[in-house]
Structures are given as C-alpha cells and as structure tokens.
Amino acid sequence: MIFRLFFSTLKHGFTGFWRNRNTATSAIVSNSSVFVILGIITVLILSANNVTREMKSSVNQMQVFLKKDLNLEQKAEIDRKIRNRSEVESANFVSKEQGMLELKQKFGDDAYLLDSLAENPLQDKYIIKLKDISMADSLISAIKEMPEIDEANFHEELLRKIMKITDYIRIGGFTLVLVLLGISVVIISNTTKIAIASRKREINIMKYVGATNEYIKGPFVVEAMIIGALSAILAVLIIRLIYGVFYNSVSQDLFTLFTIYLVTPELLMKDISVIFASIGLGVGAIGSILSLRKHVRV
C-alpha cells in the first residue's frame, strides 16, 4: 500500500510537471539564475578559503627561486650562503623536477592535466623557514644581493590583507546565500500556487471523494522538487563553463606569482553538484510545502 502510494505520487508529480510545463520552465530559468549567482558566491568563498589556507601554511616561510642554468659550483655556493644566514632556521632545496612531482600529488586524479605542458615551468628553489617573521626584511635584503637568486617571495602583509578580504567575503557571501535561498523558495512557492490554482477543480473533487492530505499534496511537492533539481542541474552546467574559463585564464599566473593553485573545475564541480542537488531538492520541498499549507486546506 505504501509503495503504491509512493509511486502514484511520483507519477502524478511528473504528470503535473509536464501539464504545467510552461510555468515550470519559467520557474526553472528564474531559479537557475539565482543558483548561478549562488554558485559564484560559493566558488568565491571556497577559493578565498583555499588561498588563505595555502598562505597561512607558509606565513613563516620564504620561497627563494634560483636563476636557471646555474652550474653545480654556483648551486653549492648559494646553498652555503643561505644556510649560513643567522635568520634561517632551516632551508629545504626543491628542484624543479621535485616541485612538479609535488604539484602532481596536490592535483591528485587531475595530475594528467600537467602532462600537457610543453616544458616544466617551475624553477629550482629553496623553502626557507625563518627563526622569526620579524627577520624577513633583513634576509630579503641580503638575498636580493646574491647574483644566483632570481627572486624571493614573502607575502606577510599581503596575507593580512587577504585574510581581511576573506572575512568580508565569508560574511557577505553567507548573507547573500541566505537572501538568494529565500528568493528561490518564494519563486517555487509561487509556482506551486499557480499549479494549485490551475487544478482547483481537480483538488475539490479529490476532497469530495475523501482523498487524504498526503495524496493531494504529495504530487505538488514532487513537482516542485523536479523544478528545483532541474534548476540546480542547469546552474551547475553554467557555473562549470564560467569557472572553466576563469581557471584557464588565471590559474597558471596565480601559481607563478604566489605558488598557489586553484581547485580544478573537475574537483570543484563534484562538490558543487552535490551541494546544489541538495539545495535544489530542499528548496523545492520547502517552497511547495509553504504554499500548500496556505492554499490547500484539506
């Protein structure tokens, strides 16, 4: 009996969706627009968190990049100079080959993307851990005078600014997320209200013959959840396209400048797809239930 009621509810829900397809399509387009904005905010929050986490882990570290084509004698000399500095607690040499292997490990299943590079763009480098962050300026001044050094990166002030911006993004982002979810609930609630109005006579007949509360309301909930799910799917496809273009445009420059990598589109979409599927179904259910409580009295 329960299974019959369940499948009957699903059937009537899909039938109602198709019967009300023009209104449903408008709701899907409207909801998808809201979800795309929601997705962009989510990507910003995730990317900001990732950048901050990467920079926090290296706040007391300095990366010193060597010039290309140094011979063994020059490399030995620069190694001695760096390790003898009083500001240095430890110095770890990372060849460009080792750097590429570590980068591939970070990329995980998407490491194959790096195989398409014509040549290894990385440089030999030292990762220097400072005894104290306050010693950074004196060490940078000394390192810049070493002819074997190409550049030295230490972004303490930048980190502080990024952390502050990240906090603003989180607070503003979560506020906008709540507002957008509210808008999405209202859209689906209004769509359900229209569907109820178009089937008022049918609902009254079901009431007259003694249909239960669940039997009448169930198909409307299913219909709204279909709208929410399709809105989420369309939004995910659009976000995948937008983020893919953004990733291809800035990821290499971001890594070159700050040794920070963005989450690949493939990995990001796995998380976004699950989140949006849940939100789409949840918003659909909540929006329809709110409308049904007000407009269907059984």
Question: Which domain CATH number covers 121?
Answer: 3.30.70.3040
Coil vs helix vs strand at 199: coil
Residue 47 sits in the same domain as residue 135: no
- Co-location of 171 and 276 in the same domain: yes
Q: Identify the three-state secondary structure at position 152.
A: strand
Give the pLDDT mean for 112-123. Answer: 79
Residue 135: pLDDT band with limits 50, 70, 90:
confident
* Residue span of the structural domain in which 17 resides: 9-55+159-295
Give yes or no: residues 67 and 84 share one domain: yes
Establish if 3 belongs to a structural domain.
Answer: no
Sign of CA dihedral 288, 290, 295, 298: positive
106 and 181 co-located in one domain: no
Q: Is the domain of 105 the same as that of 235? A: no
% of the chain exceeding 90 in pLDDT: 1
Give residue 159's pLDDT.
Answer: 60
Mean pLDDT of 256-279: 72
Q: What number is the average pLDDT over the span 22-46?
A: 81
- Confidence bin at 2 (pLDDT 50/70/90): low
Indicate whether 211 and 106 sit together in one domain.
Answer: no
Amino acid 15: pLDDT: 77
Which residues, other chains included, contact 145 with Cβ-Cβ below 8 Å and sequence gap of 6+? none
Do 90 and 42 lie in one domain? The reply is no
CA–CA distance, 70 with 29 (Å, rounded to integer): 58
CA distances to 189, 219, 222, 243, 288 from 294, in Å: 10, 16, 18, 40, 10
For residues 81-98, give the mean pLDDT: 88
Query: Is the pLDDT reported for residue 294 higher than 70?
Result: no
* Calculated CA dihedral for residues 270, 275, 278, 279, nearest 10 degrees: -140
- Does residue 4 lie in a domain region? no
Q: What percent of the chain has pLDDT over 70?
A: 77
Asked whether the beta carbons of 181 and 283 are under 8 A apart, the reply is: yes
The structure tokens listed for 265 are 């589109």
Residues 183 and 276 in one domain: yes
70 and 206 housed in the same domain: no
What is the Cα–Cα distance from 239 to 123, expressed in whole angstroms?
Answer: 33
246 within domain boundaries: yes
Task: Answer with the one of 154, 186, 209 that is the final residue of a domain.
Answer: 154
Q: Check whether 236 has a pLDDT greater than 80.
A: yes
Q: Which residue has the tokens 């909801």?
A: 31
Give the Cα separation of 97 and 103 in Å (integer). Answer: 10
- Domain boundary (112, 136, 154) is at 154
Give yes or no for residue 133 having a pLDDT over 80. Answer: no
Within this chain, do residues 178 and 289 fall inside the same structural domain, yes or no? Answer: yes
- pLDDT of the residue at 259: 53
Q: Is the dihedral of CA 27, 30, 33, 38 positive or negative?
A: negative
Residue 73 lies in a domain: yes
Task: Please check whether residues 23 and 74 belong to one and the same domain.
Answer: no
Residues 284 and 215 in one domain: yes
Last residue of a domain, one of 104, 125, 154: 154
**Domain assignment present for 1:** no
Query: Residue 158 pLDDT more than 70?
Result: no
- Between CA 234 and CA 239 the distance in angstroms is 9
pLDDT, position 129: 84
Helix spans in the chain (H): 2-19, 21-57, 72-83, 96-107, 136-144, 156-198, 200-208, 213-258, 265-295
